[in-house]
């Protein structure tokens, strides 16, 4: 992969990481500490619990993506970014543009998904 492309992906990953950290901070501050005594109505309590549950699920997804971004940045530093973890061939730039944290080329990813679906059925 060309250095220009690697630099561009590094910038994209750094910006996305910064956004995720800011979002995670906001999620953490967004009412996870509401006291039950502050919500005497059962409907309010149920709505608050549903909101908290949704916030926790979103935060979990953000943390997973953050780990993938960190791994991709580490691969850039090691010089292995854009190399498929299964077949060790270069991942197409268009795939990385769509998903900068991609760890596999589209062929290997599709093959893995077919196998996973086969076992899931």
CA atoms within a 13 Å half-sphere pointing along the CA-CB vector of 48: 16
pLDDT for 33 equals 55
**In this predicted model, which residue has the larger pLDDT, 7 or 37?**
7
In sequence order, the 6+-apart residues with CB closer than 8 A to the CB of 26 are none
Cα separation, 98 vs 92, in Å, equals 10
**For the segment 60-89, what is each residue's pLDDT rounded down to a tens digit?**
888 999 999 999 999 999 999 999 999 999
pLDDT for 120 equals 55
Cα 42 to chain centroid distance, Å, stands at 35
For residues 100 and 75, the answer to whether their CB atoms sit within 8 Å is no
Cα separation, 117 vs 121, in Å, equals 6
Closest CA to 102 of 78, 120, 77, 80: 80
For residues 66 and 24, the answer to whether their CB atoms sit within 8 Å is yes
pLDDT over 60 (residue 22): yes
**For the segment 32-57, what is each residue's pLDDT rounded down to a tens digit?**
555 555 556 777 667 777 777 777 78
Closest CA to 96 of 28, 1, 4, 9: 9
3-state secondary structure of 117: helix
Domain boundaries, the chain: 1-81, 83-121
- Give the CATH class of 1-81: mainly alpha
């Amino acid at each position: 992969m060309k250095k220009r492309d690697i630099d561009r992906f590094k910038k994209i990953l750094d910006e996305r990481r910064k956004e995720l950290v800011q979002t995670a901070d906001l999620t953490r501050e967004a009412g996870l500490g509401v006291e039950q005594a502050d919500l005497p109505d059962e409907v309010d309590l149920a709505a608050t619990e549903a909101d908290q549950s949704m916030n926790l699920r979103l935060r979990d997804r953000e943390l997973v993506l953050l780990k993938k971004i960190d791994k991709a940045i580490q691969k850039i530093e090691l010089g292995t970014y854009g190399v498929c973890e299964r077949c060790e061939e270069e991942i197409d730039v268009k795939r990385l543009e769509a998903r900068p944290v991609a760890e596999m080329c589209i062929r290997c990813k599709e093959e893995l998904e077919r196998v996973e679906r086969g076992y899931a059925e």
